[in-house]
Amino acid sequence: AMSKSAVKISSDLLSNPLCEQEPSFLEMVTAFDTAMKRMDSFNQEKVSVGHARGFSSVFPSLNMAVKRREQTLQDYKRLQSKVEKYEEKERTGPVLAKLHQ
């Protein structure tokens, strides 16, 4: 999105009337526009390659972190359902002890 915005800005600058009046400004803006379009093209290529190969091959620790997070989330949901079950029961000594645990 950032490179798309930069391309839009450079295109807007090219349509500025000052470009018609100042050849040096036109030259700078044209160079800027070319650079922004090349950057956008490069970024789009990298994003499509990243999605094609998957980020796990590029960032293996990311894949591990996602797996750990999913496991922790499942554990949390399991324990949360236990807590809700004990909260619904009558508040006796053993139930309070398990709820505290």
Two structure tokens written together for 96: 């309070």
Residue 79 to residues 3, 17, 60, 83, Cα–Cα distance (Å): 45, 66, 29, 6
Do residues 99 and 83 touch, judged by C-beta distance below 8 A? yes
pLDDT of residue 64: 84
Residue 37 to residues 18, 19, 28, 63, 95, Cα–Cα distance (Å): 21, 19, 14, 32, 66
In the chain, which stretches have pLDDT less than 50? Answer: none
Note the pTM of the prediction, 2 decimals.
0.43
Q: In the chain, where are the structural domains located?
A: 1-57, 59-100
